[in-house]
A and B are shown apart, each in its own frame.
Chain A
Amino acid sequence: AQSVTQLGSHVSVSEGALVLLRCNYSSSVPPYLFWYVQYPNQGLQLLLKYTSAATLVKGINGFEAEFKKSETSFHLTKPSAHMSDAAEYFCAVISNAGNMLTFGGGTRLMVKP
Chain B
Amino acid sequence: KAGVTQTPRYLIKTRGQQVTLSCSPISGHRSVSWYQQTPGQGLQFLFEYFSETQRNKGNFPGRFSGRQFSNSRSEMNVSTLELGDSALYLCASSYDGQGATYEQYFGPGTRLTVT
Q: Which residues of A come within 8 Å of B, CB atoms?
A: 32, 34, 36, 41-46, 49, 51, 90, 94, 98-103, 105-106
Contacts and interface: CB of A to CB of B under 8 A. Distances in A.
B104 interface: yes
Given A34-B103, A44-B90, A49-B103, A101 B45 contact: yes
B48 interface: yes
A102 B102 CA distance: 13
Given A43-B90, A51-B101, A100 B106 contact: no
Interface of B: 4, 6, 31, 33, 35, 42-43, 45, 48, 50, 55-56, 58, 90, 92, 94, 96, 101-109, 111
A94 B104 CA distance: 10
A101 B105 contact: no
Contact of B43 (A42, A94, A99, A103): A103
Contacts of B31: 99
B44 to A, nearest CB: 8
Contact of A99 (B6, B94, B106): B94
Nearest to A45: B106
Which 6 pairs show the lowest CB-CB distances between chains A and B? A43-B106, A103-B43, A44-B106, A51-B101, A98-B56, A43-B108
A43 B107 contact: yes
Contact of A32 (B102, B108, B109): B102
A99 B90 contact: no
Nearest to A31: B102
Nearest to B47: A100
Nearest to A52: B101
**Most A-side CB within 10 Å, residue of B45, B56, B104:** B104
A98 B55 contact: yes
A32 B105 contact: no
A49 B55 contact: no
A101 B33 contact: yes
